[in-house]
Structure 1
């Protein structure tokens, strides 16, 4: 298993997706920075909580569903598209171990995007007047927890993207799923079914944008279902299907 994880990590390190991860962390940080600059130009005081909350909302609503779905799709479908899946499956490891190694590597991949975004936001915040005086460690811990919660909830969605990528043996459908998630999430956010839809439930659990509709029990039940069911499908499909490189 350790050999599989090391192999997946080496393949990821040599992937062009590293640049996409950097861009995915940089763009939302720059967007929030520009919004904060506009607020300061209108004599609005700098507030760390508002600054970070805006970032979490942008990540949860726009960046994470699209970017993470693409990254996970690429991670699981790369061997199919490069026609090397037969070489991977002829090794001494089981198919389930191959899938498990990919889910393990997905953790540092997604974590690196979230962590880089958080550090960029933190460094950019100190550029504003009054930010140093308003900074507290308790505030930093609260905002860091929101980023961690968003990461955990987004990771719970990775089996959906992985299942789509494996079923179509391409990361393009997974990318389409991410785009669909962004669009549909914006629509569902306006309805009373917000906690029954996984992407909108993730956003509301992490940011509490709509407190009157924020039911933690319903939200976490939704996330558990959309995590476990695709995992069971992946285990059954990848273990028994006629997987080949074409």
Structure 2
């Protein structure tokens, strides 16, 4: 699963690279900037690929004990249900950060191969900051996905849930309401591209509220659930 996720993380940098190759073929005299490549890649990661990919990873981590019928054995070691959730969250956070760094690093490598222009320490640090902020915020928004996974104990509803979230990102991409939709607000915060209609506080509040509600619902449901 980890190797498959690495392929998924490489999708956005490759898509952007292919797009810029086509751009250079049509306009060979126009420069391609590293800053634009990093920005476009992070856009694809946060609004499209990342939402789906991290949702599948979340479902895999939190559902595998149900699939393999090992959860009841884990809880008799004893491992508390809270500790079980916490350990999974730590692993998920590390996993997301690794994939974030892979996407960022591959963008840099492909940009070097494609001879993008405008490379500087400032561009590298700023882009890395944006990637890490975006990945961390998407991690916070994994709690509703965890709840859906525990509720249905199946991969399919979770994948459908993340697909619907992604469709919401696409639908709101060019609308001011994206500042209020938690998953699209992630990109606004990471890219510092807030819309004038809504102050940044609204975006932060939407993400934090969604993360907290999802976590509380997950803990309450999992603590009350009977493990057979």
> 1:33 matched to which residue of 2?
17
Matches within 5 A, 1:48-67: 48-67=34-53
Identify unmatched segments of 5+ residues in structure 1.
Answer: 1-16
**CA apart distance, 1:149:** 1.0
Q: Distance in 1 between matches of 2:114 and 2:10?
A: 18
**CA apart distance, 1:151:** 0.8
Q: Distance in 2 between matches of 1:130 and 1:210?
A: 27
* Range that drifts further, 80-89 or 70-79: 80-89
**CA apart distance, 1:208:** 4.5
Q: Distance in 2 between matches of 1:128 and 1:165?
A: 41
Aligned length: 226
Matches within 5 A, 1:136-147: 136-147=120-131
**CA apart distance, 1:171:** 2.4
Q: Note if contact 1:78-1:171 (Cα within 8 Å) is conserved in structure 2.
A: no
> 1:7 matched to which residue of 2?
none
Pairing 1:166–2:124 present:
no
Q: Distance in 2 between matches of 1:213 and 1:147?
A: 25
Q: Note if contact 2:47-2:187 (Cα within 8 Å) is conserved in structure 1.
A: yes
2:31 corresponds to which of 25, 45, 48: 45
> 1:91 matched to which residue of 2?
77
2:163 corresponds to which of 167, 179, 187: 179
TM (normalized to structure 2)? 0.93
2:107 corresponds to which of 118, 121, 131: 121
Q: Note if contact 1:194-1:213 (Cα within 8 Å) is conserved in structure 2.
A: no
Q: Note if contact 1:165-1:174 (Cα within 8 Å) is conserved in structure 2.
A: yes
- Please provide the CA RMSD for this pair: 1.6
* Range that drifts further, 209-218 or 163-172: 209-218
**CA apart distance, 1:233:** 1.1
Provide, for residues 135-157 of structure 1, a one-character-per-residue CA deviation record: whole Å limited to 9, x for no partner: 21011111111101111110111
Q: Note if contact 1:79-1:85 (Cα within 8 Å) is conserved in structure 2.
A: yes
Q: Distance in 2 between matches of 1:125 and 1:98?
A: 41
Q: Distance in 2 between matches of 1:214 and 1:54?
A: 23
> 2:220 matched to which residue of 1?
236
TM (normalized to structure 1)? 0.87
Partner SS, residue 242 of structure 1:
coil
